[in-house]
Amino acid sequence: EADIYQTPRYLVIGTGKKITLECSQTMGHDKMYWYQQDPGMELHLIHYSYGVNSTEKGDLSSESTVSRIRTEHFPLTLESARPSHTSQYLCASSATGRSTDTQYFGPGTRLTVL
Amino acid sequence: AQSVAQPEDQVNVAEGNPLTVKCTYSVSGNPYLFWYVQYPNRGLQFLLKYITGDNLVKGSYGFEAEFNKSQTSFHLKKPSALVSDSALYFCAVRDLIKAAGNKLTFGGGTRVLVKP
């Protein structure tokens, strides 16, 4: 198992609430990623970061925001949750370099917005 | 642009029989190719990758994959499937030159069901 952690693992919350999904890794990886996984399985990249103070939008537009103040920490925030945000969110990290570019994933957060 | 196709939504196989999960890719340059497995309520686990060198790559849990440049394929194989291999399998590609930030593109996933 990779040393990448996500909390909470499961979250059920009402519409309009602000939520933050936590992701931390202890591997010293410079790059981190957030993916959204549909009920139909497909993964979509929603945010990524090259390093501290670097964040980029991914391939799928998302109303969430991210920050990267510390190398090991890459939280994702939804200011006002909606039922359309119900999904599984997966965090991953990787290190720069040809032999270390494998992305390692956390266990995921399953979010349900009522 | 880079893309990956997994043509089968589901693969059913009897325990002890060979397992193959298909993947084809498209990139502008040379590809990095990956296979991941996802068990229920878990994140993705890395199985194996191809970067360069030998076209046959061996990975975790007895899995292997063969890179075929002419067919732009990277099929995952296991000689003798176990019931515990039942899971979701994802193929992913990264364009060696053109994909910024180590961005991967994932296939849609293939559900493998191994029956006793």
Residue of B nearest to A56 (CA): B101
Residue of A nearest to B111 (CA): A41
Size of chain B in residues: 116
Question: Residues in chain B with pLDDT < 70?
Answer: 96-102
Question: Do the Cβ atoms of B102 and A94 come within 8 Å?
Answer: yes
Give the pLDDT confidence score for residue A96 in this predicted structure.
78
Strand A65-66 vs strand A56-57: parallel, antiparallel, or unpaired? unpaired
Give the pLDDT confidence score for residue B95 in this predicted structure.
74
How far apart (Å, rounded) are the C-alpha atoms in residues B11 and A40?
Answer: 16
Strand B10-14 vs strand B110-115: parallel, antiparallel, or unpaired? parallel
In this structure, what token pair is assigned to residue B69? 């440049």
Q: Which residues of B touch A99 (CB under 8 A)?
A: 51
Which of A87, A113, A108 lies closest to A19, judged by CA?
A: A113
pLDDT in tens, A18-33: 999 999 999 999 999 9
Give the pLDDT confidence score for residue B1 in this predicted structure.
76
pLDDT in tens, A60-88: 888 999 999 999 999 999 999 999 999 99
Give the pLDDT confidence score for residue B97 in this predicted structure.
64
Reply yes or no on whether the pLDDT at A91 is more than 90: yes
Query: Is the distance from CB of B105 to CB of B2 less than 8 angstroms?
Result: yes
CA gyration radius for chain A?
Answer: 13
Neighbouring CB atoms inside 10 A of A52's CB total 12
Q: Which residue has the higher pLDDT, B31 or A34?
A: A34
In the block, which residue shows the tokens 């979509």? A44
Residue A76: partners with Cβ closer than 8 Å, 6 or more residues away: A20, A21, A23, A34, A47, A64, A65, A66, A89, A91
In this structure, what token pair is assigned to residue B21? 């999960």
Question: Do the Cβ atoms of A56 and B101 come within 8 Å?
Answer: yes
Give the pLDDT confidence score for residue A61 in this predicted structure.
81
Give the pLDDT confidence score for residue B92 in this predicted structure.
94
Give the pLDDT confidence score for residue A26 in this predicted structure.
94
Q: Which residues of A touch B44 (CB under 8 A)?
A: 43, 90, 92, 105
Give the pLDDT confidence score for residue A59 in this predicted structure.
82
C-alpha distances out from residue B10 to A43, B42, B64, B78, B114, Å = 17, 19, 19, 16, 11
Strand partners, A81: none
**Which site among A102, A104, A111 would you substitute to test the B interface, given the most B Cβ atoms closer than 10 Å to its Cβ?**
A102
Question: Do the Cβ atoms of B46 and A6 come within 8 Å?
Answer: no
The band of A56, judged by pLDDT with boundaries at 50, 70 and 90, is very high
Mean pLDDT over all residues of chain A? 91
